[in-house]
Structure 1
Amino acid sequence: MTRAIDRLRTAAAEREASGLRRVLRPRTPDHDGLLDLASNDYLGLSRDERLIEAAVRATREWGAGSTGSRLVTGSTLLHAELEDRLAAFAGAAQGLVFSSGYLANLAAVAALGRGGLVVSDAGNHASIVDACRLSRARVVVTPHGDADAVAKVLAERDEEHALVVTDAVFSVDGDLAPLRDLHAAAERHGALLVVDEAHSLGVVGDGGRGAVHEAGLADRPDVVRTITLSKSLGSQGGAVLGAPEVIETLVDTGRSFIFDTGLAPASAGAALAAVEILETTPDLPERSRATARRLAATARELGLETSEPAAAVVPVVLGPPLLALSAAALCGELGVRVGCFRPPSVPSGRSCLRLTARADLGSDDLAVVRDALTAVAEVKVDR
């Protein structure tokens, strides 16, 4: 055994002892018979026959893959249609589709912030953190949800240009960013505002048009949105929505756009079908939000720490990683699959279960969840 491999084994053992080891657990098509409260399928569309049929049609017409990068052969008429439909649905000028939401964030922040100042919320997703690092900008991380701190950093900067970046709905805590206040600060100091709508599109706002639309900022040219197609839209991929100048800049300089293979036709077709469902079923997002409120109320009634959900994410904070792991396993034994978040996904001492509300959950499902959370609450008291 070489010293290099021995070092890796030692580090893995330390993570195991701390409850921070990650393990891949391939699931069956029916989630191993468990009620799914772990996925990001907020509207229950990933298994919808309309999406599946649209994906099959797109595959038969365009093939299994896009065959190249978007600037070579990877742009099809299907991609162009999806970009137009996404922009129109969310009230944006234009859209640009990527093969993942992660890559959409990398392109938007790294290309638009390069050489300037990037101000990032402390609670932002890892894809934003990585994008900040790739931007080669001066990066300042501000306290979570603190628009005044953002304004102060912008006012004191020496850089010619600046960018403020935030999640709309934060992926673990489930709270909503103060978008109007952040935009006011950015506008006052000549900065762009980039908002990651991964957990808000399809759930927040009128018909699920997102938090930016709900805040009345959809038509502002200094607001850029990144979205994912893999959560509420039940498909795969991501996109950037923004002014023509923003999209042109990303096509010219966005490395994760230029050098990546285009989104598979099946995913584009499925996402188009999901947008159409949202347009024709405007009450679907409220069903997901209502389920989230019921889940949070149940957790509070049982004495568990949670927060009022802004969208579909409901955290149940337990503290130590090992306690969160055992609680997640207990939920599985009682028929419910939940997310289990530990450092570095959350701060130390804030390991939690993450419940994700789906629009297609009924009262019987929620009764099963109540039984599981009751058992978690009893274990937490015993600890």
Structure 2
Amino acid sequence: MARPDLHERIQHQRKLRLAQGRIRTRRTVGRRDGVRLEIDGRSLVGFCSNDYLGLSQQFEVVAALQDAASREGAGSTSSHLVCGHHSLHQQLEREMADWLGYPRALLFDSGFMANLAVQQALLSEETDVCVQDRLNHASLLDASRLAGCRLRRYPHLDSEGAMRQLKNTADGAAMLITDGVFSMDGDIAPLRSLALVARMQEALLYVDDAHGVGVVGEHGRGCVAAAGLGVNEVPLQLATLGKALGGHGAVVVGDEALIQHLAETARPYIYTTALPPAQAAASLAAVKLARRDHWRREKLTELIAAFREGARRQGLELMPSETPIQPLLCGDESTVMALSATLEQSGFLVSAIRPPTVPEGKARLRVTLSALHSVEQVKALVDAITRARDVVLYQRSLNTVNA
């Protein structure tokens, strides 16, 4: 029997995506200036970045990057275990561990690689199980599949569901994994109850707090600290450097034995070139600013309140989120695409999020706020969304009449 032709397969798959309205296109940013982006020659106010604290272009962060690059060059030249581990990497790991209150940290090139590293290094047997929230980030779900363990998923934020899944898989090692802040919903995991479940079921609790560290809790220490938990309850935690900290890469913090095991056995750590030292220097500067500049989180709190109050007044359907991620539910994909396009015509860049990134029927505008936004810009966005909604509804009514 002849093998399938891969070109024919991908052409067929693209036709399906076209029919479903799910073609993704890249937008090329010509220039960034704070929250403004130049796209196709137009200056737009961006409400889709994860630069929550506004650190990606902050002077001290950029200066640290430039200074380190001038001394150390553009790259690390090797993996951490050969000759790529620089003193700047070491300083960054120590700063992150100290900030989050953990004994030790390990630096990775991305959050995706870090999540894969953790599960591959700890769940290597077919009898092992990983129990995850149904809305966890794709990197966590993919990591379980690549690790070769059994993946079990529980309903969103349902600690009792997590308990049931762990009870039904009593043999083998077990991990219970959740996002801290969920990237598409903006809500926060019930970490205290999940920690209790993990303890009762002898599972290791791992929290991916990519969207929480820097933003949530006192001094921005994230969801784990905000829940009053630490290394005893959450032995491993992930923090990315590319969201609230404005840079690139990720750090896993944990107890000494677990981090040492990752450093010695995790394939995504061992077999990849280390992050450039200059990038580590930039992230180190960003961490120090995130710890020091409390006004950034205070400004975010003010902007979140302004956006939610404005949306409430206009009858916009927001999801229950107290974080800088403020999703506006639109339902079907054609509506969310029309709203996003209309907003862009009004000078705002807001991402339309569609399945399979979110569940069917849950398409949304994912509005994200930054400490660099002004209250006036947030209010202007609410007004623009309201006008866009009215335009889309009017056009639909005309189409219904004409039909």
TM (norm. structure 1) is 0.96
Give the conservation status (yes or no) of the 8 Å contact 1:291–1:357. yes
Residue 23 of structure 2 corresponds to which residue in structure 1? 21
Which of 270, 288, 293 is equivalent to 2:300? 288
- The SS at the match of 1:140 is strand
Question: CA separation in 2, counterparts of 1:375 and 1:17?
Answer: 28
Tell me the CA shift for residue 79 of structure 1.
0.3
- The SS at the match of 2:30 is coil
- Which range moved further: 297-306 or 51-60? 297-306
TM superposition outliers: structure 1 runs of 4+ over 6 Å: none
Question: CA separation in 1, counterparts of 2:233 and 2:156?
Answer: 25
Give the conservation status (yes or no) of the 8 Å contact 2:176–2:204. yes
Number of aligned residue pairs? 382
- Which range moved further: 334-343 or 358-367? 358-367
Question: CA separation in 2, counterparts of 1:177 and 1:302?
Answer: 29
- The SS at the match of 1:355 is strand
Question: CA separation in 2, counterparts of 1:297 and 1:249?
Answer: 48
Question: CA separation in 2, counterparts of 1:55 and 1:76?
Answer: 14
Which of 130, 147, 153 is equivalent to 1:141? 153
Question: CA separation in 1, counterparts of 2:105 and 2:233?
Answer: 13
Deviations along 1:37-94, whole A, 9 cap, x unmatched? 1110101111111110011112122210111111112210000000000010111111
Is residue 2:241 matched to residue 1:241?
no
Residue 254 of structure 1 corresponds to which residue in structure 2? 266
Residue 319 of structure 1 corresponds to which residue in structure 2? 331
Residue 343 of structure 2 corresponds to which residue in structure 1? 331
Is residue 2:21 matched to residue 1:39?
no
Tell me the CA shift for residue 181 of structure 1.
0.3
Residue 192 of structure 1 corresponds to which residue in structure 2? 204
Tell me the CA shift for residue 160 of structure 1.
3.2
Unpaired stretches in structure 1, ≥5 consecutive residues = none
Residue 388 of structure 2 corresponds to which residue in structure 1? 376
Is residue 2:96 matched to residue 1:86?
yes
Residue 401 of structure 2 corresponds to which residue in structure 1? none
Unpaired stretches in structure 2, ≥5 consecutive residues = 397-403
Tell me the CA shift for residue 261 of structure 1.
1.1
Percent of residue pairs bearing the same amino acid type: 36
- The one-letter code of the counterpart of 1:112 is L
Residue 63 of structure 1 corresponds to which residue in structure 2? 73
- The one-letter code of the counterpart of 1:203 is V
In structure 2, relative to structure 1, the CA distance for the partners of 1:321 and 1:178 (3 Å cut) is: same
Question: CA separation in 2, counterparts of 1:151 and 1:379?
Answer: 47
- The SS at the match of 1:278 is helix
Give the conservation status (yes or no) of the 8 Å contact 1:174–1:311. yes
Question: CA separation in 2, counterparts of 1:164 and 1:242?
Answer: 15
Question: CA separation in 2, counterparts of 1:302 and 1:6?
Answer: 48
Deviations along 1:181-215, whole A, 9 cap, x unmatched? 00010011211101001000010000111000111
TM (norm. structure 2) is 0.91
Residue 306 of structure 1 corresponds to which residue in structure 2? 318
Residue 11 of structure 2 corresponds to which residue in structure 1? 9
Which of 128, 136, 144 is equivalent to 1:132? 144
